[in-house]
Amino acid sequence: MRYFALSACTTLLIAAFGAQAAQKDYYDTTDDGKKIAWMSKGREAVKTKLKDPDSAKFKGVYFFRGEEGVPMTCGAVNSKNSFGGYDGFQRFVSAGRPNLTFLEEQVKGFDGVWQKFCE
C-alpha cells in the first residue's frame, strides 16, 4: 500500500512538473532577435482584440512555424473584462496582425487552428 501511495505521489509530481514546463515562456528566454520581434508583434496584435489591452498578462508565448511553414506567435493571455475582473487565461494564435490574430473564446473550433499553427 505504501508503494502504491508513493508511486501515485511521484506520478502526480511528474505530471505537475511537466505541465509547468509546458507553460515555459520562450518570449523571455530566447535570444533570437527575429523571433523576439515576431512574438512582440503577435502580443501587440492580441492586445487589439482585448477589452482592456493594458491589463494583458501573457504566459507560454512562443514562436512556431506550423504545418505550412507560416510564422506564428502562440501562447495564452488573460485580461480584464468589462466588469474589471480577469476572465482566466485563453490560448491565442497570431500571425502578427490584428486581422490574423485569433483568441480561443472568439473562434469556434479553435482547437483545429491551434493544432494547425501551434503544434
List of the chain residues with pLDDT < 70: 1-28, 66-67
pLDDT score of 90:
98
Residue 96 and residue 41 in contact, taking contact as beta carbons nearer than 8 Å: yes
Q: Supply the DSSP symbol for 75.
A: E
Domain coordinates in residue numbering, the chain: 25-118
- Sequence-distant (≥ 6) Cβ neighbours of residue 40 within 8 angstroms: 27
Segments of 4-70 assigned E as strands: 57-65
- Sequence-distant (≥ 6) Cβ neighbours of residue 39 within 8 angstroms: 26, 27, 61, 62, 63, 73
Helix (H) or strand (E) holding 72, with range, is: strand 71-78
pLDDT score of 69:
85
